[in-house]
Structure 1
């Protein structure tokens, strides 16, 4: 469903930009043709810039270091390049390019890859070939319904975990980006006790995000700061629950901020300097950490 929606949006924007440019050129408005087409195609960069300005203003007394203007600019530019690759190519047109990898008798621990809000399994297209070439079994899920409650994703993760347990005979590693980290926590609280080796979250709003105050869908509203859904989840999690977690977060995360909301008490919280929300998954230390968790003991 999400792939078709993003195909429609991507192709619709390109078609609108071309139509606008042709209409203006035919009437001799060359400058307006280029300006309008550029705004339609690259307007997202303006929204990314606004988000990062908000990151700077909202920081307050957050314990994470405050990003400098230079760090925010570099993070913005990296996100400008990463966002269209993910949202206009990998997810809408290449989400099925990399199939799940369940090799027989591999002897390796498996990985469940859980994407975030308005994403699908194509988000992990750069990771999956690297896991496959290293012989690491993996399953990348699609979280649906796209705009339902995060709690609805528990059975999807449970099915993936069961498949990896059956294939490998070992408790898997679960990796979640953004909302995916919350979905993993919901699964872990409901049925994951003793069935997970490690959990790695990347820019996950564990304690909500300031930006979600503008949300309109149910799952996005559940990611606002200090929601009832978060408190209900926390009530199911014992004090030592997060000892198996590695939480990556960044002071330049343009979606999850203030930055320390992506950390958990008792977890191995690791700060990534100058990384925006989507681009964070491309940091070599993140994949390196995941690969370190699947090394046979």
Structure 2
């Protein structure tokens, strides 16, 4: 559903731009260019409003604000990522990268997936598996088994409804590798992981997950979700009934939480953390930007290497 939604947004935006310029170009070049600029900058303006709201909320709660220069750079970077992700990858590249391991190439030995710690990639709200295309390419290049699913149903249903997609994906990978994988989840994806873990027994958790890394996940909800009136966004309201029922993750599954004080979606910052998790906080990355931050990638790669070493020594 997200794929088609963003395709409609992109096509409608280009059509509106074409119609506006066609009508006004002969009448007033200035008005034509002004309208074209507003259409083209719509995403940036929306992100800018979110940044201003984030800073206002942090100020009202007496929390530290990222420097204005830091927030400015994060806004510009998030704008670039938003155009790339929602203007191209999500609407048109959902299946551009297949899951790994990589296909056999002439002159190379096949990579046996048995005994390799795989990586399951879980996307967030209003996205699909295409946000992980870069991760999938890099993981496959290293011979690491990896999978990314598109969570459905996307809108109008609670977070719990997406658990089945994740469950099938994880179990398929474990059947392929024989060992529990590392789960990396962005934004709402982290809540889907927690809802999935809640349905598993202790023995199933030991079989299907070795560690969870969440990136900009609203573990305590987010202030911005108060403007939402449909599921699953309602579940992500700060202190929502669903979050209260979800409770804390089981202690037998290690969590690492990455969050940013410049996050324009999940704020205040403490809402992106868990009490028992390893906390990794940065100040200079916005919501989608954090997913592609080199520090997050290096951490996940190193963590996966440590988990693999533990499997090899067992």
Specify if TM > 0.5. Answer: yes
Taking structure 1 as the reference length, the TM-score comes to 0.94
Secondary structure of the 1:174 match is strand
Measured in 2, the distance between the counterparts of 1:66 and 1:159 equals 41
Measured in 1, the distance between the counterparts of 2:24 and 2:60 equals 49
2:160 corresponds to which of 131, 151, 161? 151
Is 1:89 paired with 2:121? no
Task: Give the CA deviation at 1:293.
Answer: 2.5
Task: Give the CA deviation at 1:61.
Answer: 7.8
Is 1:252 paired with 2:262? yes
Task: Give the CA deviation at 1:273.
Answer: 2.0
Once the two structures are superposed, the pairs formed by residues 1-297 of structure 1 within 5 Å of their partners are: 1-26=1-26, 28-60=27-59, 65-102=64-101, 105-106=112-113, 107-147=115-155, 148-191=157-200, 193-194=205-206, 195-234=208-247, 237-238=249-250, 240=251, 244-295=254-305, 296-297=308-309
1:37-87 CA-partner distances (Å, limit 9, x unpaired):
111121111111111111111114879742111111010000111001000
Secondary structure of the 2:247 match is helix
Equivalent residues, number: 293
Measured in 1, the distance between the counterparts of 2:56 and 2:187 equals 21
Mean Cα deviation higher: 56-65 or 207-216: 56-65
Secondary structure of the 1:170 match is coil
Measured in 1, the distance between the counterparts of 2:22 and 2:15 equals 11
Taking structure 2 as the reference length, the TM-score comes to 0.89
- Give the aligned partner of residue 107 of structure 2: none
1:205-233 CA-partner distances (Å, limit 9, x unpaired):
00000000001221101101000100111
Q: What residue ranges of structure 2 are gaps of 5+ in the alignment?
A: 103-110, 310-314
Measured in 1, the distance between the counterparts of 2:61 and 2:128 equals 31
CA RMSD of aligned residues (A): 1.6
Contact 1:253/1:277, CA 8 A, preserved across alignment: yes
Measured in 2, the distance between the counterparts of 1:60 and 1:35 equals 34
Secondary structure of the 2:176 match is helix
Measured in 2, the distance between the counterparts of 1:244 and 1:64 equals 28
Contact 1:62/1:259, CA 8 A, preserved across alignment: no
Secondary structure of the 1:246 match is strand
Secondary structure of the 1:7 match is helix
Contact 2:158/2:231, CA 8 A, preserved across alignment: yes
Q: What residue ranges of structure 1 are gaps of 5+ in the alignment?
A: none
Contact 1:143/1:153, CA 8 A, preserved across alignment: yes
Measured in 2, the distance between the counterparts of 1:188 and 1:135 equals 27
1:249-283 CA-partner distances (Å, limit 9, x unpaired):
00000000001110000100100221000011111
Task: Give the CA deviation at 1:102.
Answer: 3.9
CA 102–166 in structure 1, closer or farther in 2 if over 3 Å, else same: farther
Secondary structure of the 2:197 match is helix
Task: Give the CA deviation at 1:294.
Answer: 2.0
